[in-house]
């Protein structure tokens, strides 16, 4: 069953502005692309608020194709690089993330198949 997601655009209250400014400052202080705050609430709800630097993504937001392209570029440069370890680390991380992405795709396909059968 597909769940609805609501994005509400409205003028923030002073308290909401304060929370946003605090999260933005945390991003700046830690040089992070994204900072999140979440809390469990009554009635089974969870509230998550995040601040993200415009145009930035974190590692788990890249697609399988993007990880494969990054890995291919790193492998290309590996032979000519002086510091091979950094490129090898990039390749290793990409391989791990590619495996995770393929596993997640397979799990999603299985869930989709189960939904179709029900």
Say how many C-beta atoms besides its own lie within 10 A of residue 67's C-beta: 21
Mean pLDDT of the chain: 84
- pLDDT of 16: 83
Query: Of 60-64, 88-92, 112-116, which one has max mean pLDDT?
Result: 88-92
CA dist 51 and 34 (Å) reads: 6
DSSP string, 87-110: HHHHHHHHHHHHHHHHHHHHHHHH
Q: Which residue has the tokens 């194709």?
A: 65
pTM of the entire predicted model: 0.52
- Render pLDDT for 49-62 as a digit per residue (tens, 0 to 9): 888 888 877 766 78
- pLDDT of 114: 81
- pLDDT of 89: 92
């Amino acid at each position: 069953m597909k769940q609805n997601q609501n994005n509400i655009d409205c003028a923030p209250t002073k308290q909401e502005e304060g929370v946003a400014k605090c999260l933005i400052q945390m991003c700046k202080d830690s040089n992070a692309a994204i900072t999140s705050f979440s809390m469990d609430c009554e009635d089974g709800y969870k509230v998550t608020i995040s601040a993200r630097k415009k145009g930035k993504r974190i590692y788990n937001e890249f697609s399988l194709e993007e990880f494969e392209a990054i890995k291919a570029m790193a492998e290309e440069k590996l032979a000519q690089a002086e510091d091979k370890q950094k490129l090898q680390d990039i390749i290793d991380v990409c391989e791990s993330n590619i495996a995770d992405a393929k596993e997640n795709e397979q799990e999603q396909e299985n869930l989709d198949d189960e939904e179709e059968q029900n």
